[in-house]
Structure 1
């Protein structure tokens, strides 16, 4: 983005998400792109750039959220749609190096480009850049990727940094031999917080919702929608707060599901939520919980 005149002595521009100023040629130095002098902070050009910067930040967050939704749900995404959004830098930052899978198990790789004809360029596990033209691709949740460790190792060799956490996302696999009557996981229960408000703030900061007396996350898995829930203590009867058991229910949260019915993605994402809430628990100065 170029520089805009802001009065007679300064020019302003958006640089790395911040509005900065510089003195125009022939005037006293203002510091090349080092913030805003007080005399121009209320100028309309400055306010317009600040609003634009805020919009760009929201747009980037919305793009990342959408790609995250596609990935967690492993939804098929039309390649022509990827081609349409690719020129947008925010979309490109969210999509670049996401692992995509085409029509066959061999059509897998890190997304590097999408051209106007709907053809994708990906780097496969052999290190070759190949062109794919399926009608749709999926961005699988990592728990569904059979070659996840190979992808992680290859990504490290390539120096890949994903804009949306996929291959390095924390995953949990449902163990075998689960009691058919079991309907909850207690592994991460009992995490103590200073108050219910600290716990609820942790929930929302991680992108989850507080619904009644639970932290919840809705997850689409294999054509079904699950609601994972971690119990939260009562804000009106306790000074401190604790997390409870992790459970899964149907889409509307009406029927508690036995653990044997929980799909692999729903299991992993529910455990990820419970683990993240446990990690944010109150720890004293001596390290005691």
Structure 2
């Protein structure tokens, strides 16, 4: 085992494209980070300060920043396709696949082919593994078999919409597939019969935070802007935008606050009945509220009763 790990490590070092630097050192980029090799050919654990300040190092550091931004942009774009259930042209997937950042982000995402009328063919739903121009998009389906999708468009569905989700999760675990974008194991919520006639959800109310700025900072990290006391998440489903809003408070930043209602409003700012909220929108709104509520200040009594 140790020999195998050492071999893989050496192979990774060999794959680095080294550039000659000052004093017979060499610089390169590995896994998005600046790395260096000394004159004896040994890869160092850290780049010396003097070497990091050279012109070549500064250029490579700028490249690292660009690669990080590119990776984030690719993942954000794919997540947007998933959240909005947007059809993706197969030609577009084939065009970007040669870029390892794109292929790493797309690999193992669950995809479904669409017919000419935009209807999903769930029989070919599977985990995206490869893209070959002449063969199409290669997936591992729910039976663990390889299929090639040749449809002109595919869908990267939200997990709440995936038929046979548990089967695909099991395959991914068995084959040790991982995803750059959280799709397969994303927490999903379905509205209960009792919630259908409601216009507000109170499952996550009463989450106490010692200071309002604690929860607003949390919302920012989660990607949910706070407006008018609400954490917000705007979702387009079937081309209809609704905004999930979860009350976090609107007092001064250092004041104590508690979470409140979760509502879904249309563009006229009117709260909608849950029965009129799409499954993706409802699930993502509940996910936002649950993530914020999970970071509340937990009292000792609450821990003892859990």
Aligned match for 1:80, one of 91, 98, 117: 91
1:2 counterpart = 2:17:
yes
Moved more, 112-121 or 65-74: 112-121
| Deviation (angstroms), 1:124 | 1.1
| Deviation (angstroms), 1:33 | 2.9
1:125 counterpart = 2:142:
yes
- Seen in structure 2, the aligned counterparts of structure 1 residues 32 and 61 have a Cα distance that, compared at 3 Å, is same
Aligned match for 2:280, one of 259, 265, 278: 265
| Deviation (angstroms), 1:277 | 0.2
1:66 counterpart = 2:77:
yes
Matches within 5 A, 1:156-171: 156-171=173-188
Q: Tell me how far apart the structure 1 counterparts of residues 208 and 124 of structure 2 sit (CA, whole Å).
A: 46
Identify unmatched segments of 5+ residues in structure 2. 1-15, 115-120
| Deviation (angstroms), 1:223 | 2.8
Corresponding residue for residue 184 of structure 1: 200
Moved more, 6-15 or 62-71: 6-15
User: Cα deviations across residues 209-255 of structure 1 (Å, max 9, x unaligned)?
Assistant: 112211000111233111000012123286112222100011x3611
Q: Does the CA contact (< 8 Å) of 1:79 and 1:118 recur in 2?
A: no
- Seen in structure 2, the aligned counterparts of structure 1 residues 40 and 285 have a Cα distance that, compared at 3 Å, is farther
Q: Tell me how far apart the structure 2 counterparts of residues 39 and 194 of structure 1 sit (CA, whole Å).
A: 45
Corresponding residue for residue 12 of structure 2: none
SS of residue in 2 equivalent to 1:168? coil
Q: Tell me how far apart the structure 1 counterparts of residues 195 and 142 of structure 2 sit (CA, whole Å).
A: 35
Corresponding residue for residue 13 of structure 2: none
1:150 counterpart = 2:167:
yes
| Deviation (angstroms), 1:66 | 0.8
Matched residue pairs, number? 283
- Seen in structure 2, the aligned counterparts of structure 1 residues 286 and 75 have a Cα distance that, compared at 3 Å, is same
Corresponding residue for residue 282 of structure 1: 297
Q: Does the CA contact (< 8 Å) of 2:18 and 2:28 recur in 1?
A: yes
Q: Does the CA contact (< 8 Å) of 1:100 and 1:138 recur in 2?
A: yes
User: Cα deviations across residues 13-67 of structure 1 (Å, max 9, x unaligned)?
Assistant: 1122221222224xxx8x5232111222210111111111111111111111111
Per residue, is there more helix in 1 or in 2? 2
Q: Tell me how far apart the structure 2 counterparts of residues 197 and 246 of structure 1 sit (CA, whole Å).
A: 19
SS of residue in 1 equivalent to 2:235? strand
Matches within 5 A, 1:242-257: 242-250=258-266, 252=267, 254-257=269-272
| Deviation (angstroms), 1:284 | 6.1
1:46 counterpart = 2:57:
yes
Q: TM-score, length-normalised on structure 2?
A: 0.86
| Deviation (angstroms), 1:120 | 0.8
- Seen in structure 2, the aligned counterparts of structure 1 residues 133 and 151 have a Cα distance that, compared at 3 Å, is same
Identify unmatched segments of 5+ residues in structure 1. none
Aligned match for 1:201, one of 201, 217, 236: 217
| Deviation (angstroms), 1:198 | 1.1
Moved more, 226-235 or 118-127: 118-127
Q: Tell me how far apart the structure 1 counterparts of residues 202 and 268 of structure 2 sit (CA, whole Å).
A: 19
User: Cα deviations across residues 174-226 of structure 1 (Å, max 9, x unaligned)?
Assistant: 1114463x210011112112211111111011111112211000111233111
